[in-house]
Structure 1
């Protein structure tokens, strides 16, 4: 204990010397003494509110029981060991957070000693690690959050020696490492690292607050000043630049931070009021199609998981319709499938007692967001599983975790995702082979990866060239007109020095079929444009300008309306390099056209699902004449 007091004193001095220069505000300066443990997210006695929710709704009861069953499955498991994979310990940190959060929740809800003992065993194991891998600080952040939740929630029931060891780990392996400049570049970044790392270290500061209140205040003040940087990327409408999966990471940890501060101080110090942040719940909800799959652009997966943070947003905004997708996941899936989510208990903490029948259908069929990665998300229905879903993105390959996919789109109809995106390739599979994955420069190896360049996305390739990394494609207009929902983007700067202008419009017509229109103005040279769409379907050429796609007994017809003469093609998606991931069951379908020098050409493609076969199709006007939303 003498060592801990000495270390904490040194830490406090170090913090104040370093933060005196950095801090522009001291929002916690006058804060009163904090409540006793537990104080993170769920105060003493608040378990009763969750129990009322569980008793009032069988779906919540099933989720609660799934968490307890998973805790029972953890009981005989061996505690985690410090085994690093490549440069990451992150899988161990994440599993520690899952185990400790679940077991601590189970202890607080049931007071069954088996959960307390197993949680303490895990806490002591990870606290004994030589370090939490500060060179990849996400590992430290998630481990600090894990150990802090366990320390705080089990504080009154842990033995004194255990408390001392766990607290020492929070201080030395978590908080102290965040003060070393070589480990904390995330403080000035505007991506998910900032959100996750500030949340994890703040949890540590709150957990040990009574030992060094001034040092903890300094850490929390640092987080309040720093985290507004990535929160600025939600402006103006809530579209998260890094896509669906990283929304689930960065935004969820941002919410964990805000929720803990609000619970503790009765204020989040203006964080939730940052422009666009609360609007991002609409973004996340609309990013999921009728199939339950996400619009997985950039380094994203297809989703399908429950998003606990959405319950916080719904409560904050008093809008249960934001939970329509979560309702579907709770109703139509075995809730046991969600127990790999390390923050799943937070869904119950943030549930606000909402019942499934209160999660009503959204009223708007279209959501549009500007910002670093603008998106337009359209659908024909929220309740019809066979509805058409169309999503398009703009943005830039230079954005964190981005691909060369500006202008890309996905399409679902009749329960099938016809136009798809590969999403990410697992990082370690590339890093282990020496791929220069994180170099975003134009000629870097990153853009040779099959899944990352424009050749394998649902966008254009001009003269066989990569999109320009420095290029940016803004949305230039949209309309939610029921019979002509549409959005347009200016892709010109993505093809700098290859074309004079390139505009793309994507529309959902009469809620029956999709149109993709490109308008290209060439330079004084013949220009070859390749139009591609990635699909998991089988393709059959049924004409010079028509392809029939077939999957799961359903069909979709891809037809080129203009130019009049094209030759449809398919391309394989086999790995090009030994480091590329395999892509079984997928093809690229499309065509190439040679455009004369100094001309303006329209390329119009229709995508008609079998359920809309025979639908009379309108003549598509130039993009400038499409309906437009006006403020």
Structure 2
């Protein structure tokens, strides 16, 4: 059966028998069949010689490869919670193998190939590839697949057999026989990462076992629609910008692997949200080179991102590269360590001479709606707003519906603490993947309502199934932001609740909370985490100070209302809670009367 469009794929039922003939495997390319085509290495060499930005990035890959020549082999090591080998084994291994393979192809020096084979044989002697945590297995598969494919003619027959046998013994056979959990129906980035590793392995090792590899590749044409759906309809990503990089880069690496091996990605790049998602990622970079972080994403993920180079080729809008060129010029690295080679490779297919400036506002619905306003693209002094809706019952979510971050004059005045390291909370008995209403995940300070920039009601958790969507978007130069309806996650306390946040006149932030209270009085706290310090003023406002910079946080009520302004510690009380001493909580405490209708207007005015 030939696949003519994406509708053919998504129409398939769960009976994989119906898709076993979807791919014409007689068309599979010879080795190297992953990513590299004739002339690509020559083009990279030429670009490195003419473009200092790419030359600097190329040097990072070569430095990793050169260091590996004299380094000890990477050992099998579990993390502190005993859950995964991703941090200490799988990721470093994949990074080393792909770097050595790149160095070999670039220079032709056999020493790099010999060292890569030694590293692969060492990994073949591991006790297993840790299929109990499939991200580990998939990451090793990605590194092995690229290295094996690129070094194919340089690997001796005996060593090649050892590598091939181990890939099937430690991974593909186990997955094929259903001896491990099924990645293909997972609703998180796991699907993308596992699909990538298994898919690339099935391409690279296809000729070793055509039955198993053919099965996996045909299955991917069916199941990859699940993670493609994460981005619908506008490109937002429910797990946050950090996990966007992790999941999306693996997703696109697989699509590019299919394209290079078969001459087509089988229309798997045609999903609307997937085509648009570069805009979401672009806007999550802030003027201070932090990220709009929420959930388990950290704010420190500004990087040279292979996925954005892919989208620069796929789309006519060159603004996708506006910040990437700056990051390259400033010597930034990538957080996708085993996809580094894609930067010089993709850069050979791009023209940087006509990169346009992005617009000022991005908004997107979907499972985690966001509104992001950035009032300039060339200065760290520019105003920046990130504002989110969604719901808490999602992978990597926090109790943060309605939260926001805000920057101006080079300072992040409203911040998010990011995630608690999983090994910390897991050692404390926390189930980080349980997002239900009474999960112990919400006891973790950084996951809880306590540090988030939301209206907190009776200190109670939000309703995890309550979904908040965008009501209105403002894209004016004097009013940039929008409105999100927060009624559903607060429905146990309020009859109605919308929050509108805008950058006003390019000079300050305004937050308007419009509320109708339920049938009982509510003890409320307007809460915000901030860097630096705060001092309560005589008029009830709070002066925020960060270095030599200050801002005034002030609030007012449409109804006469007594309130107390506070500056509080942002420290958790659990033994596993990380320190947050670089931040404070600034709050306004007050009572909402039953059945009351009220508008609360709060401003942050940098001085």
For residues 464 and 152 of structure 1, the distance between their equivalents in structure 2, rounded to whole angstroms, comes to 56
Q: How does 1:616-627 map to 2 (within 5 A)?
A: none
Task: Please list the CA deviations of residues 465-501 of structure 1 after superposition, one character each: whole Å capped at 9, or x if unmatched.
Answer: 1111111111111121221112111111111221111
CA deviation after TM superposition for structure 1 residue 148, in Å: 1.1
Q: How does 1:129-278 map to 2 (within 5 A)?
A: 129-278=126-275
For residues 177 and 548 of structure 2, the distance between their equivalents in structure 1, rounded to whole angstroms, comes to 58
Task: Please list the CA deviations of residues 151-205 of structure 1 after superposition, one character each: whole Å capped at 9, or x if unmatched.
Answer: 1110101111111111111111121122243523221122111111011011111
For residues 523 and 263 of structure 1, the distance between their equivalents in structure 2, rounded to whole angstroms, comes to 59
Task: Please list the CA deviations of residues 329-358 of structure 1 after superposition, one character each: whole Å capped at 9, or x if unmatched.
Answer: 1122x34x5488232111122224435554
8 Å CA contact retained: 2:234, 2:366: yes
SS at match of 2:446: coil
8 Å CA contact retained: 2:176, 2:212: no
Task: Tell me what 2:366 maps to.
Answer: 371
For residues 162 and 378 of structure 2, the distance between their equivalents in structure 1, rounded to whole angstroms, comes to 52
1:482 aligns with 2:477: yes
For residues 122 and 250 of structure 1, the distance between their equivalents in structure 2, rounded to whole angstroms, comes to 26
| Structure 2 unaligned blocks of 5 or more | 1-12
Segment drifting more, 554-563 vs 73-82: 554-563
Task: Tell me what 2:83 maps to.
Answer: 87
Segment drifting more, 29-38 vs 498-507: 29-38
8 Å CA contact retained: 1:320, 1:354: no
Among candidates 389, 395, 398, match of residue 390 of structure 2: 395
8 Å CA contact retained: 1:190, 1:231: no
C-alpha spacing 1:603/1:118, structure 2 compared with 1 (3 Å)? same
Task: Please list the CA deviations of residues 417-474 of structure 1 after superposition, one character each: whole Å capped at 9, or x if unmatched.
Answer: 1100011111011112222322222122100110001121001111111111111111
Q: How does 1:215-614 map to 2 (within 5 A)?
A: 215-302=212-299, 303-332=301-330, 334-335=331-332, 337-338=333-334, 341-354=337-350, 356-362=352-358, 364-563=359-558, 565-610=562-607
Task: Tell me what 1:626 maps to.
Answer: none
C-alpha spacing 1:24/1:521, structure 2 compared with 1 (3 Å)? farther
CA deviation after TM superposition for structure 1 residue 126, in Å: 0.8
SS at match of 2:137: helix
For residues 123 and 153 of structure 1, the distance between their equivalents in structure 2, rounded to whole angstroms, comes to 13
8 Å CA contact retained: 1:327, 1:359: no
For residues 266 and 340 of structure 2, the distance between their equivalents in structure 1, rounded to whole angstroms, comes to 26
For residues 390 and 18 of structure 2, the distance between their equivalents in structure 1, rounded to whole angstroms, comes to 32
For residues 20 and 585 of structure 1, the distance between their equivalents in structure 2, rounded to whole angstroms, comes to 51
For residues 588 and 416 of structure 1, the distance between their equivalents in structure 2, rounded to whole angstroms, comes to 16
Q: How does 1:38-57 map to 2 (within 5 A)?
A: 38-57=32-51
For residues 491 and 247 of structure 2, the distance between their equivalents in structure 1, rounded to whole angstroms, comes to 32
C-alpha spacing 1:27/1:265, structure 2 compared with 1 (3 Å)? farther
Count, aligned residues:
589
For residues 576 and 489 of structure 1, the distance between their equivalents in structure 2, rounded to whole angstroms, comes to 32
CA deviation after TM superposition for structure 1 residue 360, in Å: 3.4
For residues 436 and 368 of structure 1, the distance between their equivalents in structure 2, rounded to whole angstroms, comes to 32
Task: Please list the CA deviations of residues 181-239 of structure 1 after superposition, one character each: whole Å capped at 9, or x if unmatched.
Answer: 35232211221111110110111111112233343222101112111101112110000
Segment drifting more, 473-482 vs 283-292: 473-482
8 Å CA contact retained: 1:24, 1:225: no
| Structure 1 unaligned blocks of 5 or more | 1-18, 611-631
Segment drifting more, 369-378 vs 214-223: 214-223
For residues 528 and 391 of structure 1, the distance between their equivalents in structure 2, rounded to whole angstroms, comes to 27
For residues 205 and 94 of structure 1, the distance between their equivalents in structure 2, rounded to whole angstroms, comes to 20
Q: CA RMSD in A?
A: 1.7
8 Å CA contact retained: 2:395, 2:433: no
C-alpha spacing 1:189/1:23, structure 2 compared with 1 (3 Å)? farther
1:68 aligns with 2:56: no
TM-score scaled by length of structure 2: 0.94
Segment drifting more, 511-520 vs 317-326: 317-326
8 Å CA contact retained: 1:544, 1:568: no
8 Å CA contact retained: 1:23, 1:221: no
